[in-house]
Amino acid sequence: MASAPDSPLGGYIRRQRELQKLSLRQLAELVGISNPYLSQIERGLREPSEKVLDAIARSLELSTEGLYEQGARRRGEEEDGGEEPAVVAAIRADPNLTARQRQALLEVYGAFTARSSRRRRSER
């Protein structure tokens, strides 16, 4: 069993690849990079260039901004020690959703929860 990813962005890319039932080799081929390089990105050993990240996003049917956002959000959750909300976990785990549908739902959920937390802070 693989260890937990060191990089929130790399871990997110790995989860999206696995949800789409793509092997490391298949995604690397689609992106136009080597298997070892993609593996290093997923494990957080290398940061992908913008060009590579764009190609990964296109291959996984996600937006580049969405990849960065998810990576940053996961990093924030890990630093806070908080766990992923059950809603987010359910969206990520639902095999009936495409990557694009999953990303849209996560973005909508994130917008609603961010707005709610800002409102609660302003009411204090």
Question: Which pLDDT does position 121 carry in this prediction?
Answer: 54
User: Considering the entire predicted model, what is its pTM?
Assistant: 0.57
Question: Which pLDDT does position 75 carry in this prediction?
Answer: 46
Instruction: Answer yes or no: are the C-beta atoms of 16 and 99 closer than 8 Å.
Output: yes
What are the tens digits of pLDDT across the range 51-77? 898 899 999 988 777 777 776 554 444
CA-based nearest residue to 52, from 81, 10, 105, 7: 10
Backbone angles phi, psi at 10, to 5 degrees: -60, -40
Higher pLDDT among residues 99 and 45, named by residue: 45
Distance (Å, whole) CA 7 – CA 12: 8
What are the tens digits of pLDDT across the range 77-116? 444 445 677 888 788 778 888 877 887 888 888 777 766 5
Please give the domain boundaries of the chain with CATH numbers for all domains.
Answer: 8-123 (1.10.260.40)
Instruction: Answer yes or no: are the C-beta atoms of 26 and 3 closer than 8 Å.
Output: no
Residue 25 predicted with pLDDT over 60: yes
Question: Which pLDDT does position 36 carry in this prediction?
Answer: 95
Distance (Å, whole) CA 47 – CA 5: 13
